[in-house]
Amino acid sequence: MAVKRFTSMAYKDPDDMVFGEAPNPLRNYGIDLELGAGYVVPEINYAPRPGSEASKMKIVNEYRHITKDILERAVTIGLPTIELETEHVFQMTNDPSWGEAVTKKQFDLLKKYNEEYGIKVGLRHTPGDLRRCELSPAGLRDDAEHDYPNKIMATVEACAKAGASNISCETVGGKEILDYAVARQDLKGILFGIGVLGSIDMEWVWSQIVDIVNKSGTNCVPGGETNCSGANTCMFVAGGLLDNNLPHVYAAIARAIATGRTIVAYECGAKGPGKDCGYEGPIVKSITGIPHAQEGKDATCAHADLMGNLIAQCCDLWSNESVEYHSEFGGSTVQVWAQALGYEVALMNVAKQTGKDKLLRDLYVAADYYRDPQPYLLAYFNAFKVGQAVAANGEDIYLRAKAAAETAAKIIDEGNKKGELKLTNFERKALDKALAELETFPDNLDAFMDMCLKEYTEKVPEFNPKNYGL
């Protein structure tokens, strides 16, 4: 399948970037839904209780309860729309029939509630990326022991045919290098792991996903990606304002680099929506114009972040990341968080209907903009600048990732020097180091590849170039 690189921006003006609108909306999506077409949709994500994976019958029954609880609460409080995301536990991708059975049960319930109550619904299924780079002969592509690559694709096909509205993924290519680099604050390794190896692996995976879903004979679409395995690792290792395991400026730069990797899904033909935990979403959307889910302040059930309001600025779906299914005072966890999401989305949609959407967007941004280098970089007007750098170098996976890193570092540097963004001495020294190091990287992929292959083949035992066709 031909890959069409992004070399231009979807937006001419960053001020046009706002929640609930996308230049390339999804029509006739799910059951009566549209995405990026003038309103925001709540997307609830969940995890089954430990032990429910003991048998296919138990896991299907667990997801039946989860799905029914969500739909009951949505209808009870008058939500007009909702999307469910089922991120597969291991067993649901390892045995495609499990993922298929869960999908069918969920779809039947969604259809029932749509017919009875008129609620517009969607269902995202995200098969797990079970691949392990250390397996032989090349675990990411050819796993003789477990056959994980083929199991993933079989699950993609099964779920697409069973009723999923979109198939998404969280691929792990390049993570063996990324993990090594994060532990050593090695910017070159971060760029190589996410920007180069991650992009190569994305093309291999997503070309297959797109082809399989498009041939499924259903209205399922190839959905979206997130660099959860890379940029989110950096974000979580960097932590909060009390943490210094990884400079926050490095986490911000890694997020910019991840853009070039994440857009590969859409270059292969994915239609969106983008995945919620891809905090690179505003940059990705500025380039692709494809609807995107985001998570923030309503994902506190899963993790902390430093941009819980800001990241809602131009979302098309608003998510909670994930929550384990169990009881709370207000109902089951999925009911509680579906309600929280629904009311936040209602505020966004009323803002749109009254012409106050850009005001609310800017209030979201102002709430977190100065908190940390990461939200500072991801504010839509700065995200747009990173997007421009990626698009200007769009034909080359290395150069666009490098340009994203350089632009991110310069935005943070300028913000600090203007007095807008405060940095500790630790962060300032890390930024100066990053600026200097970026200047030393070569200006062509071949030279960078040769340098990194030599270094990391020796230093990282798990790294097998065959995993990337090298």
Spell out the domain ranges in the chain. Answer: 14-468
pLDDT digits (tens, 9 = 90+) for 384-419: 999 999 999 999 999 999 999 999 999 999 999 999
Instruction: Say what the pLDDT of residue 1 is.
Output: 63
Task: Tally the C-alpha atoms within 13 A of residue 468's C-alpha that lie toward its C-beta.
Answer: 25
Which residues are 318's β-sheet partners?
A: 42, 294
Structure tokens at 413: 């540097």
Q: How far apart are CA 168 and CA 175, in angstroms?
A: 19
Rounded to two decimals, the pTM is: 0.98
**Alpha helices for 148-224 (secondary structure H):** 148-162, 175-183, 187-190, 198-214
Which residues does the chain have with pLDDT short of 50?
A: none
- Is there a contact between 380 and 311 (Cβ–Cβ < 8 Å)? no
Please tell me whether residue 138 adopts helix, strand or coil conformation: strand
Q: How far apart are CA 140 and CA 133, in angstroms?
A: 5
Task: Check whether the bond before 375 is cis (ω within 30° of 0).
Answer: no
* Residue 252: CB atoms within 10 Å: 30
Please tell me whether residue 215 adopts helix, strand or coil conformation: coil
Q: Return the residue matching tokens 């070309």.
A: 207
Q: How far apart are CA 394 and CA 257, in angstroms?
A: 13
Q: Output helix, strand, coil percentages for the chain, rounded to the nearest 5.
A: 55, 10, 35
- Is there a contact between 229 and 175 (Cβ–Cβ < 8 Å)? yes
Task: Check whether the bond before 137 is cis (ω within 30° of 0).
Answer: yes
- Is there a contact between 250 and 234 (Cβ–Cβ < 8 Å)? yes
Phi-psi region of 310 (alpha: psi -120 to 50; beta: other; left: phi over 0): alpha
Q: Rg of the chain over CA atoms, in angstroms?
A: 21
Please tell me whether residue 283 adopts helix, strand or coil conformation: helix
